[in-house]
Amino acid sequence: MKSLIALCLFVTAGIGCSDSSVNSGQPPLGEIVFEAEYLNFAWGVSWNGTYVDVNGNVRTYDRSRDTVMWRDDDNGMFTEEELQRKYQRRDTLRSLIPADSLSRMKQMAQTIDAKTYSDTVSMGADMGTWTTSVYLYRPEIKKYQRIILSQDGDRRFFNTSANAKEISDWLKRIG
Each residue's pLDDT expressed in tens, for the chain with a length of 175 residues: 443 333 333 333 333 333 333 334 455 778 889 999 998 888 888 889 999 998 999 999 888 877 666 666 668 899 988 888 888 776 788 999 999 999 999 999 999 999 999 999 999 888 999 999 999 999 999 999 999 999 999 999 999 999 999 999 999 999 7
59 within 8 A of 51, measured Cβ to Cβ: yes
155 within 8 A of 148, measured Cβ to Cβ: no
Q: What is the DSSP string of 44-112?
A: S-EEEEEEE-TT-EEEEEE-TT-SSPPPPPTTSEE-HHHHHHHHTTT-EEEEE--HHHHHHHHHHHTT-
Query: How many residues in total does the chain contain?
Result: 175
36 within 8 A of 130, measured Cβ to Cβ: yes
Q: How far apart are CA 124 and CA 153, in angstroms?
A: 7
